């Protein structure tokens, strides 16, 4: 019989809320096989700690000052020759596109902050075993999971249309087709001022500032286009 103690999993916690970090450290260190090596309060410090301490796991908050979680993850994944650290993202709420991007950048797990402690512990052990964990379950086939996630994100964009009205969607279609404000006004039999007003509302709703950004956003998000003859 082998009575050897299991090897400890070495962890760094990165979160900008000291109370959350302290509580998480206590929870983790109550487990005999987990050891917290260090803490970081922003993304830049998290990257530094990961490189210096070389933990097995980096628990990385998605929303942090100076360098958000995804930026820190991008930095870590693009550094050649660094010791591989398994990154688990902690988030209050994650959009599907953020989860897809995080997994594509090399994250091994995504856990919601309001999850039960047992779920986080399960996630850590699943990731250490070489699998992935997203939300409340382990993921064995990452490629299939990403494909499903990306498809559902596209379906949701079709359904919600980002709050655009039917007329605004028609204007977006015209912009993507390369029409000028004057041509759009003539096509829909409205004034150029009305077109500008619609465009201003569209820019605000989608968070873009130029026609090119609008066209790229519309194509990337698979907005439902209407054919402009």
Strand, coil or helix: what is 111? strand
Terminal Cα distance for the chain, rounded:
78
Higher pLDDT, 174 or 97: 174
Residue 228 has pLDDT above 80, yes or no: no
Q: What is the CATH number of the domain that holds 135?
A: 3.40.50.2300
Asked whether residue 121 falls in the same domain as residue 201, the answer is: no
Asked whether residue 184 falls in the same domain as residue 143, the answer is: no
Q: What are phi and psi of 120, to 5 degrees?
A: -65, -40
Domain assignment of residue 156, yes or no: no
Is 76 in contact with 88 (CB distance < 8 Å)? Answer: no
Asked whether residue 31 falls in the same domain as residue 63, the answer is: yes
pLDDT above 90 coverage of the chain, percent: 45
The string of pLDDT tens digits covering residues 165-206 is: 888 888 998 888 888 999 999 998 999 999 999 999 999 988
Dihedral of CA atoms 187, 191, 196, 202 in degrees, nearest 10, equals: -60
CA atoms within 13 A on the CB side of 185: 12
Could you give the number of structural domains in the chain? 2
Q: Model confidence at 31, in pLDDT bands (50, 70, 90)? A: very high
Range of the domain at 196: 164-220
Domain assignment of residue 153, yes or no: no
Nearest to 200 by CA among 213, 190, 189, 209: 209
Mean pLDDT across 78-101: 79
Q: What is the CATH number of the domain that holds 202?
A: 1.10.10.10
Asked whether residue 13 falls in the same domain as residue 113, the answer is: yes
Give me the count of residues in the chain. Answer: 229
Locate the DSSP E strands across 41-118: 57-61, 86-91, 109-112
pTM of the model: 0.64
Asked whether residue 23 falls in the same domain as residue 96, the answer is: yes
The string of pLDDT tens digits covering residues 43-71 is: 999 999 999 999 999 999 988 878 888 89
Asked whether residue 102 falls in the same domain as residue 194, the answer is: no
Residue 146 has pLDDT above 60, yes or no: yes
Q: How far apart, in Å, are the Cα atoms of 109 and each of 15, 89, 106, 130, 172?
A: 16, 6, 9, 11, 37
- Element spanning 9, H or E: strand 9-14
Residue 1 has pLDDT above 50, yes or no: no
Domain assignment of residue 154, yes or no: no
Is 85 in contact with 106 (CB distance < 8 Å)? Answer: no
Strand, coil or helix: what is 224? coil
Tell me the average pLDDT of the chain: 85
């Amino acid at each position: 019989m082998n009575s050897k103690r299991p090897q400890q999993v070495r962890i760094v916690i990165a979160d900008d809320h000291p109370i959350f970090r302290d509580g998480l450290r206590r929870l983790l260190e109550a487990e005999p096989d987990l050891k917290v090596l260090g803490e970081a309060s922003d993304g830049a410090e998290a990257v530094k700690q990961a490189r210096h301490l070389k933990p097995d796991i980096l628990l990385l908050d998605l929303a942090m000052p100076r360098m958000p979680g995804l930026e820190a993850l991008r930095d870590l994944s693009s550094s050649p020759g660094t010791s591989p650290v398994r990154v688990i993202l902690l988030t209050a709420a994650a959009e599907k596109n953020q989860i897809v991007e995080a997994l594509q950048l090399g994250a091994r797990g995504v856990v919601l902050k309001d999850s039960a402690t047992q779920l986080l512990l399960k996630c850590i052990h699943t990731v250490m075993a070489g699998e992935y964990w997203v939300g409340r379950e382990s993921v064995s086939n990452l490629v299939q999971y990403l494909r499903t996630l990306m498809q559902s994100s596209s379906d949701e964009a079709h359904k919600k249309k980002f709050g655009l009205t039917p007329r605004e969607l028609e204007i977006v279609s015209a912009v993507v087709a390369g029409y000028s404000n004057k041509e759009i006004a003539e096509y829909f039999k409205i004034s150029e001022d009305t077109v500008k007003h619609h465009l201003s509302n569209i820019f605000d709703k989608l968070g873009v500032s130029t026609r090119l950004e609008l066209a790229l956003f519309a194509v990337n998000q698979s907005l439902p286009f209407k054919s402009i003859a």
